[in-house]
Each structure stands twice: as structure tokens, then as C-alpha cells.
Amino acid sequence: MKRVLRRWGFLLGVVILYIILIIITPDLALTALKRSGGVFIHLLPPLSIAFILMWLLKLFVKPVHISKFLGQKVGIKGVILSTLAGIISIGPIYAWYPLLKDLREKGTSDFHLANFLSNRAVKPFLLPLMIFYFGWKFSLIFNILLILNALLVATLVNLTTVRKWITSISIYRKQEE
């Protein structure tokens, strides 16, 4: 039930809102519905391309691949792989949490986890839609900066982890002395 609500809750909420508005102000509710239809028709071409790309990605990229990507812990290769894992991962974030928890328990660093989560903002399969709305120049700049931003977020999150380790090590050493 919770899962169904998570998946369809938003749509259900909007439908309920429409029903309420049809009762209160039918004319405006009908205008809103017509406008929604207009938006949908307008969006159909880029949205279709986006969904085909998403379907293909879902077909070929499985969570086990992402898990392998994030498993690489060291060096530039690890950074590239956690970036790629974030970019190609699709689906709602809560669906990824069990995998992320598992990976963390197996030793994946905070850097890679944060990098993965931030890179989820880069959506190559939604590029047709982004270009449709904001133009290719914006899409290019925005996506490059998103990747750089992810690295920055991951570095800052990781820095505090390292500081925490250093503090605990120094406390441990003091206790030993």
C-alpha cells in the first residue's frame, strides 16, 4: 500500500484536487483540464524520445551494474565510475536507498555515495526535453556544472568524514597514552 501510494500518490492527489475543483468551480476546472491537454500534446514529441531512452536504459542497466560501478573505491577510476553510476541510474531515489546502505556497509566511501546521489540530477535521457524547454547551450552548461557540483558536494561531505576520523583517532591515541 505504501509503495502504491509512493508511486501513484502524486497523481491521486492531483485527481482529487480536480474533483474538488469541479464541484466548487466547474468552469475554471474545465479550463485547467483543457490547458493540461494542450501542455501534454505540446510535450508529446520530446517526452516520447525521453521515455524510449529511459526504457532502453532500464532494459540494459540493472542495479547490479551500478553496484559494481560504486564498488570501485579508489582513484580517478572510482570517481568516474560513481559519476557514471549516478548519471545512468533511473527511478525514484528511495528505490536506491537499500543498495546504497548495503554498499556503505561494504565500505563504499561517503565521497562516492554523495557523488552518486548528486549526479542523479544529470539525466541524459531527458536531454531532448531539457533542450526543448531551455535550449542546447543552457543544457550543455547546466549539465557540465552539475557534474562539477557533484564532485564539490562529494568532496565537502567527505572532508567532514575525514575530519571525524582524525578526531576519533586522536582521541583514541590520547586514551592509549
Partner 1 sequence: MLLGLFKTFISKDILFSIFSGKILLDTFLGASLGSISAGHPVNSYIIGGVLLKMGVSLFAVTAFLMTWVTVGLIQLPLEITVLGKRFAILRNSISFILSIPIALLTVLLLRCLR
Q: How far is the CB of 93 from partner 1 (least distance, A)?
A: 6
Distances (CA, A) of 154 to 93, 100, 141: 17, 15, 20
Which one of the spans 60-68, 69-77, 128-136, 166-174 is the region binding partner 1 (CB under 8 A)? 128-136
Distances (CA, A) of 53 to 7, 13, 79, 128, 156: 21, 28, 25, 10, 33
CB neighbours of 87 closer than 8 A, spacing ≥ 6? 119, 120, 122, 123, 124, 147
Q: How far is the CB of 134 from partner 1 (least distance, A)?
A: 7
Binding-site member from 19, 26, 35, 168 for partner 1 (CB under 8 A): 35
Closest to 82 (Cα-Cα) out of 60, 115, 109:
115
Residues near partner 1, by CB under 8 A: 10-11, 14-15, 17-18, 21, 28, 31-39, 43, 47, 50, 92-94, 97-98, 100-101, 104, 110, 113-114, 117-118, 120-121, 123, 126, 129-130, 133-134, 137-138, 141-142, 145-146, 149, 152-153, 156-157, 160-161, 164
